[in-house]
Amino acid sequence: MKCRPASNPYTAWLLWGGLALSSAGIAGAQPAAQPVAAGPVNAAPVAAAPVAATPVALPYLSPGQVDSVALLEPPPAAGSEAAGQDLKAVLATQHAAHAQNTIERAEADAQASCGRVADVLRLNSGASAAMAFATRAALEASAATGAAKLYWHRARPYVVSPEVELPGGVATGKPAGSAEAKAWEYTSYPSGHAAFGAACAIVLAQMVPEERAALFARGRAYGQSRVIIGAHFPSDVEAGHLIGTVTAAFLLQSPRFQSDLHAARAGLRQALGLPAETHTPAP
């Protein structure tokens, strides 16, 4: 019987590199120090103005609010027929990506930014605050995969078979050969990127429901990029998409999230030249 990992899965997931996540572009940057004008040599020293502390954004979700171990079925067992089919699907997807010329986009999708999913919206610089908000929320959703990653300890496709390509080298852990990279090799199930893409699509669709279909399709494609670059099996991606969807449902129930969503939605719709009121199109 497998035992749950004793360590904090969220911390372990981020320490291992998870989505190669960086807070750059999410948390506000500190303002640069301003030059001080020169004064008389004998002038009394001027006390420096107090610097306001950068506010720490509170999480939208409680630790362990989404139990990914309890929600997911086991991945295909190593050496099983199902595992073999999963590997064949990776190789077929990579072959098709060459024919469809989608490898470059898949490499770029390694970036953990909801701007990747929102590229269907034709964004401009006025959308940066909304993208930062959506990315922050989606990062919380992706972190919910951490417990299951540690629990199942599934090898990534490129570990299982040398036939798996690694375009751009973005699938492997960093730095190469380190303990972190070795641990990363066994965190395939479920896909954190797929969870992130699903959550991005759901959050963005709350702001621009007119583009719901395009956003959901792009969110799926963002997760599928992980198969193209050899980082995940299709079953990893499906499981990640499920966790991202469930976690997004909890996000939508958070009053703090809804407050931030209201502000982000207004800013994004203004940046896109859309009316302030959102209307969900009829099916």
User: Diameter of the chain by CA atoms?
Assistant: 84
Tens digit of each residue's pLDDT (9 = 90 or more) over 235-281:
999 999 999 999 999 999 999 999 999 999 999 999 999 999 755 55
pLDDT per residue as tens digits for the range 173-216: 888 889 999 999 999 999 999 999 999 999 999 999 999 999 99
Which tokens go with 64? 């362990």
Token pair listed for 55: 């506010």
Q: Are 192 and 150 in contact (CB under 8 A)?
A: no
**φ/ψ of residue 33, rounded to 5:** -65, 140
The pair phi, psi for residue 258, each rounded to 5°, is -65, -35
How far is C-alpha 3 from the chain's CA centre?
Answer: 27
Question: Per residue in 16-32, pLDDT tens?
Answer: 344 444 333 333 222 33
* Ordered domains of the chain (ranges, CATH): 78-271 (1.20.144.10)
pLDDT digits (tens, 9 = 90+) for 99-119: 999 999 999 999 999 999 999
Residue pair 21/14 in contact (Cβ under 8 Å)? The answer is yes
Which structure tokens are listed for 88?
Answer: 């064949």
